[in-house]
Amino acid sequence: MELISQNKVFDGWHKQYQHPSEVLSCPMRFAIYLPPNAAQGERVPVLYWLSGLTCSDENFMQKAGAQRIAAQLGIAIVAPDTSPRGDDVADEDRYDLGKGAGFYVNATQAPWSTHYRMYDYIVQELPALIEANFPVSASKAISGHSMGGHGALTIALKNPGMFSSVSAFSPICNPLHCPWGQTAFSAYLGNDRELWKQHDASELMKIAHGEQTVALVDQGEADTFLAEQLKPEALQAAAQQSQYPLTLRMHSGYDHSYYFIASFIEEHLHFHAERLFA
């Protein structure tokens, strides 16, 4: 790994690294916040944060204001990039497909399948890298925003027991039935809608029985993407069908921005801490 930058914050350290990814066949960047006790060598649990369309590792770390509470709670935060990057990586001249829009799936269709394997990167390669190189424990939670909220929910639902808890801000809850999801899934996964269901949080939550990862979702009622793209009502209906432990909170006046995330990130960190340290 190559250290790109580091900044001391609340007596912990925010660091950016680049590393060669075998899964994605390109260099990848991630950010990690190590709270003060981790900087002193104590092993701490990890919250993985997945960002949304057009974002990188920097958006959350610079805008969410999460480090102060993470430092107090003793939780590390890892923020990966949202897609593979590089001159050889396939792309499109649009914000919702290609670079910055990996959707946390393993693409099966050319030209995307060469590099776009964000599911395996988040589930396998990145946690192994973090646990091998930093003072963290095997305890982990996952969270995200928008496209990253979709990723956090689907990854937690597909891997029960891997994460102590999952949360999301303004997630894409039902990509089978929204333009963002239909654009990405048709390109990355082809036309088999049964395959799409394996990466749709509402479809997965309908059939989630046995071990279930407790979930918290916050959604702003003034979000301009709410009706067309996000569809939290589908997730709520799925949770009722399977008796899933989901708390969905709607917030008057809040939009899709990081102002919304910054307003409630402290509550999300405490939600995860209760389970990470249980």
- Annotated domain spans of the chain: 2-277
pLDDT at 161 over 80: yes
Is 256:224 a contact under the CB 8 Å cutoff? Answer: yes
pLDDT category at 210 given cuts 50, 70, 90 is confident
Q: Which two tokens stand for residue 89?
A: 């990586």
**CA 189 to chain CA centroid, nearest Å:** 20
Q: What mean pLDDT comes out for the span 237-252?
A: 97
Burial of 84 (0-12, 13-18, 19+ CB in 10 A): buried
State residue 90's pLDDT score.
97
Angle at 101 between CA 99 and CA 255, to 5 degrees: 130
**Active-site residue, 146 included:** yes
Is 74:41 a contact under the CB 8 Å cutoff? Answer: no
Alpha-carbon distance of 146 to 143, in angstroms, equals: 10
Angle at 128 between CA 127 and CA 134, to 5 degrees: 80
3-class SS at 29?
strand
**Active-site residue, 252 included:** no
- Among the listed residues 115, 150, 199, 256, the single catalytic one is 256
State residue 41's pLDDT score.
83
- Among the listed residues 14, 167, 223, 272, the single catalytic one is 223
- Among the listed residues 146, 167, 170, 202, the single catalytic one is 146
Q: What mean pLDDT comes out for the span 177-192?
A: 97
Alpha-carbon distance of 273 to 278, in angstroms, equals: 8
pLDDT digits (tens, 9 = 90+) for 32-73: 999 999 978 899 999 999 999 999 999 999 999 999 999 999
* Paired residues of 2 in beta bridges: 18
Whether omega before 84 lies within 30 degrees of 0, making that bond cis, reads no
- The percentage of the chain sitting over the pLDDT mark of 90, rounded to a whole number, equals 97
For the whole model, what pTM was predicted?
0.97
pLDDT digits (tens, 9 = 90+) for 131-159: 999 999 999 999 999 999 999 999 999 99
**Active-site residue, 56 included:** no
Architecture of domain 2-277: 3-Layer(aba) Sandwich (3.40)
pLDDT at 209 over 90: no
Alpha-carbon distance of 57 to 135, in angstroms, equals: 20
pLDDT at 123 over 90: yes
pLDDT at 162 over 90: yes
Q: Which two tokens stand for residue 179?
A: 């333009």
Average pLDDT value over all residues in the chain: 97
User: What does each C-alpha distance from 17 to 22, 40, 48, 209 come to in angstroms?
Assistant: 16, 20, 15, 38
